[in-house]
Structure 1
């Protein structure tokens, strides 16, 4: 398995489009708790993952080299834990990328989200020359907001978007967090 990033406990590798990737992503999205702040708990259909989502992830590797989604595997057990993302779109301002993560419930509360996110933030500022990393979630998603804060991101704003399906807490909007290169560098410099 080709490994793009390794942390103390995680290996982050690119998705390949394999049947195992489909199974892993489907199993992740099948858990209502994992999907609570994304779809209100509704699972993503296996066909949706196989025919649309996974091909989109693979296409992003080609469009934006160095960016994309990484499957997170626990080094000790080699178990799939979820994914981390550092992504860009055609509309993303130069020098910026968005951080994201989705982990199996069994991995929650063990520091994996922070550990994997810090690895991607380091890649973004160190290897990819980013100036700003952002992350977004629902205002009510306190666990995800705590991960962002542990990684050094700061609250920027609350905003409201029209979503096709309203889910519990959606009326409170979404929040954007950011980390600037200068703040990341300052945090890495010993006092």
Structure 2
């Protein structure tokens, strides 16, 4: 049985994860460059993906319909590119925008394309009141995606990590977009 497709853009297909996606997620998180701003380049252990992360993602689909984390595939080839997320707040009125793509997908505008589509989905289909995203201050590429998706810089803050990634000393940034400030664009969703 095929996984449920949540939305499509000109070049992306976002679908629900399935238990068969363990290898995709392990491979994605095994690339030190992909994980650079998340764990300092350390991979996520397979057992963590299989026994903790993926089961949590699958449970989220029923708890907050229309929100969650989805596998991103190339619309033409069907190849796994990474994931996009609208991770729900506890009450489902807010969603954290997120994305993690393979290096082969970088620099092609896919993060912006998927993010624009999800912002539209969050406000038009789900009806959240706020979409927000966070990254390390030094992650300029991710910050640019957030801005192109319509989110605005909100704050810089500092967290404590026992084993911080390089650049942590500069803090984290949060971007946000409120429903009342959102202006629909045309991200090409179908």
TM-score scaled by structure 1? 0.92
Deviations 1:80-123 (A, max 9, x none): 00000001132x6x631110000000000001101111111111
* Structure 2 partner of 1:43: 43
State the SS of the aligned residue for 1:106: helix
CA distance in 1, matches of 2:83, 2:185: 25
Separation of aligned partners in 1, 2:123 and 2:67 = 12
The root-mean-square deviation of aligned C-alpha atoms, in Å, is 1.4
Structure 2: runs of 5+ lacking an equivalent: none
- Mark the runs of 5 or more structure 1 residues left unpaired by the alignment: none
Partner residue of 2:72?
Answer: 72
**How far, CA to CA, are the matches of 2:12 and 2:98 in structure 1?**
16
What's the CA shift for 1:36? Answer: 0.1
Q: Compare the two structures and name the one with the higher helix fraction.
A: 1
TM-aligned CA deviation for residue 62 of structure 1? 2.1
Counterpart pick for 2:8 among 6, 9, 29: 6
SS in 1 for 2:175: strand
TM-score (norm 2): 0.92
Question: Would you say how many aligned residue pairs link Structure 1 and Structure 2?
Answer: 184
Aligned mates of 1:130, 1:3 — CA distance in 2: 20
Where 2:76 maps in the other structure, the secondary structure is: coil
- Report runs of 4+ in structure 1 exceeding 3 Å deviation: none
